[in-house]
Amino acid sequence: PPGERKRILQVLHEAHPGIVRMKALARSYVWWPGVDSDIEDFVAKCEICQQHRHMPPKAPIHPWEFAREPWQRIHVDHAGPVNGNYFLLVVDSYSKWLEMRRVPSLSSTTTIQVLREIFATHGLPDVIVSDNGTAFTSEEFKLFAKKNGCRAVNVAPYKPSSNGQAERMVQFAKDSLKKMGKGDVETRISRFLLAQHATPCTTTGQSPAELLMGRRITTALDRIKPSLTTEMDQKRDQLLGTEVRSFKEGQHVGVRSYVPGDKWIPAQVMQKTGPVSYKVQTPEGKLLHRHSNQMVTRPIEQEVPGIETSSETDEDEQEAIPERAEQPMASPEGSLRAKLPSPEGGTTPRPSTPRPERNRRPPRHLQDYECAYVKGEECCVRTGDAGRYATGQEWQRR
């Protein structure tokens, strides 16, 4: 009957079961029209059940909007204590660049002072996201953000996942400092930050330094391979055909003199002071510093024994050459070779000179000819059976 329904509901709810279990129990004993709605309404109005109910289902994750440029939105948080030290962490949402400073206290004054130093390097952000710590909720901090044109956002209390960017960096920094062992805290922080700035992020695929500064920072690992500038210089020299001249220690060279007298003076390389600079010593014992462009190779002068005077050489050449070389020849090749001096025994060795000798090659149109001077006139003979004699003037005409 309707008058007993409330009493029946009280008996069914005596052990404070949930809605589902109370409905199942009621179906085993009673029924009336609208019994399910009456049970739901009775449980919802029970104060004891409402005080001890579980948390509702989690709402869908609402991620932060992606920052469109570096240092547009930063996340800040305090970490510690780690070996008795507290730290302030600042993370750029766009590049994942981390700034970490050790602080003596967690007050608003100390926090603002550290943030001023960081903002002096990277500039002012648009949004500052933080938790509900007293350092970030004080009127002093809100005034600091307002004066700098920054919007201070505090996440919901007891919901650290809302500031997950900073919370994740706090955990990462704590673990890294503990793994680095004991020692100077500032040194460990510097090494940790250098590695964090140079390591590519799994989310962006690039290092924080590349996204924030547009370049990769140099680390110890960059020393194992040549720099890009060196490779570019080598490629440029290869394309232009240029070659860097180098000199060895102890090598005799000629160096440019900038005092009245000889333009080039002899010297000896004593030390290589740079890629293209050398320290040389003159015969007088004076040390000079010269660029490779101010140095030339200088072979050691040596006396060649058995060198005859120019007059004797001219007489020998006149005796070795017949007077009538212009008469008709039956065999131009054979007669001319007989009259030309032998390259092995008929010539005298040339004296060595300080200047380097160039590599002499005959012109391409005379590759099949042997050339010599007969009484001051150039003669060419084709090698082979069909000999040919021609003077230098005839070759010029052709």
- Of 212-216, 249-253, 278-282, 308-312, where does mean pLDDT reach its minimum? 308-312
Examine the pLDDT at 133 and tell me if it is beyond 50: yes
213, 242, 275: which is the final residue of a domain? 213
Which segments of the chain does DSSP mark as H helices, in order? 5-12, 19-27, 35-44, 47-51, 108-122, 134-137, 139-147, 164-179, 185-198, 208-213, 228-240, 310-320, 332-339, 392-397
Q: Determine the Cα–Cα distance for residues 192 and 206; give it in Å rounded to an integer.
A: 18
Mean pLDDT of 367-377: 64
329 vs 45, residue with greater confidence: 45
Q: Determine the Cα–Cα distance for residues 30 and 9; give it in Å rounded to an integer.
A: 10
pLDDT at 169: 84
> How many CA atoms lie within 13 Å of 369's alpha carbon, on the beta-carbon side?
19
**CATH code of 269's domain:** 2.30.30
Q: Say if residue 10 is in the same domain as residue 117.
A: no
In 3D space, the residue among 101, 107, 108, 105 whose CA is nearest the CA of residue 87 turns out to be 101
- Of 61-70, 87-96, 99-108, where does mean pLDDT reach its minimum? 61-70
Domain count, the chain: 4
Classify the C-alpha dihedral 28-31-36-39 as positive or negative: negative
pLDDT at 290: 92
Residues recorded for the chain: 398
- Contact yes or no for 271/265 (Cβ under 8 A): no
pLDDT at 99: 93
State pLDDT tens for residues 157-210.
777 677 777 788 888 888 888 887 777 888 889 999 999 999 998 888 899 999
In 3D space, the residue among 158, 165, 206 whose CA is nearest the CA of residue 63 turns out to be 165
| Chain centroid, CA 197 distance in Å | 14
pLDDT at 321: 46
pLDDT at 302: 53
Quick check: is 325 in a domain? no
| Domain housing 289 | 251-297
**CATH code of 201's domain:** 3.30.420.10
Examine the pLDDT at 67 and tell me if it is beyond 90: no
Q: Determine the Cα–Cα distance for residues 88 and 376; give it in Å rounded to an integer.
A: 94
- Vertex 320 angle, CA 319 and 326, to 5°: 95
State pLDDT tens for residues 73-99.
999 999 888 888 899 999 998 999 999
Q: Determine the Cα–Cα distance for residues 179 and 175; give it in Å rounded to an integer.
A: 6
pLDDT band with cut points at 50, 70 and 90 for residue 333: very low
Quick check: is 202 in a domain? yes
Mean pLDDT of 1-17: 84
Q: Determine the Cα–Cα distance for residues 321 and 340; give it in Å rounded to an integer.
A: 7
Quick check: is 63 in a domain? no
In 3D space, the residue among 264, 110, 172 whose CA is nearest the CA of residue 118 turns out to be 110
Quick check: is 199 in a domain? yes
213, 240, 265: which is the final residue of a domain? 213
